[in-house]
Copies of this chain bind each other. A is one copy, B any other.
Amino acid sequence: MNSRKAAMGKNRLEAFSDGVLAIIITIMVLELKVPHHANLEALQPLLPSFLSYVLSFIYVGIYWNNHHHMLHAAKHVSGPVLWANLNLLFWLSLFPFATGWMGENHFAALPSAIYGFVLLMAAISYYLLQQSVIAADGPGSLLKQALGSDWKGKASPFLYLTAMVLAFWVPGVAQAIYVAVALIWLVPDRRIERAISHTET
């Protein structure tokens, strides 16, 4: 009876998060304003906006992917988990703004640093959500085992911080770090997949 109750809460948490993430990922494309002319010159100024859209799309995709694996490994959904999840969604909801500002200003210093700040807060929020899921599951949490050292989760905030500072001196390096962290994460959380299949077989 208890497991059905937890599963029910999980379903709605997933559905709501999927909804918000789906909207965030699609709303970002609205920052690609349709140009009024039909030639290449009209398209060219959109390139930075397009590139930052691609980067943010990949980031939201990574969050969706990892969120999916995390909740798959979760057993219980407690009150703190609901709020930690809303907190994560709040920071992710700032992606369209941060992406649009950075793109429209051609990767200028301040917008690039603010973009890094939003990435940093999202990473911290994701970490807090992870901890609240582990706490809700109690000792023997499948997620905790699955995470192992979680070096990616621990390294990312420091890389974002570094990029934020560097954005004011060498903006190009900040962008390179954002891309590099995305690439590190593109490899999905195999650890969780593995831990789950170990348990189930």
Contact = CB atoms under 8 A, between A and B. Distances in A.
Nearest to A4: B200
Contacts of A68: 9, 12, 82
A64 B96 contact: no
A38 B105 contact: yes
B23 A19 contact: yes
Contact of A93 (B14, B29, B90): B29
Nearest to A21: B16
Contact of A12 (B18, B34, B86, B104): B18
Interface in A76-124: 79, 82-83, 86, 89-90, 93-94, 96-97, 100-101, 104-105, 108-111, 114
Interface residues of A, number: 63
A65 interface: yes
| Chain A facing B: main interface SS | helix
A31 B29 contact: no
Interface stretch (A135-143, A150-158, A172-180, A188-196): A188-196
Contact of A15 (B15, B72, B114): B15
Nearest to A25: B20
Contact of A22 (B20, B30, B54, B61): B20
Given A20-B25, A20-B26, A26-B23, A34 B97 contact: yes
19 contacts: A1-B200, A2-B200, A5-B200, A14-B15, A15-B18, A19-B21, A19-B23, A22-B22, A23-B27, A24-B26, A26-B93, A38-B101, A38-B110, A43-B110, A43-B114, A61-B83, A64-B86, A79-B190, A83-B188
Q: Which 5 A-B pairs have the closest CB atoms?
A: A19-B22, A38-B108, A38-B105, A34-B100, A23-B26
Given A18-B19, A27-B29, A57-B90, 6 more contacts: A23-B23, A23-B26, A38-B110, A61-B83, A65-B82, A83-B186
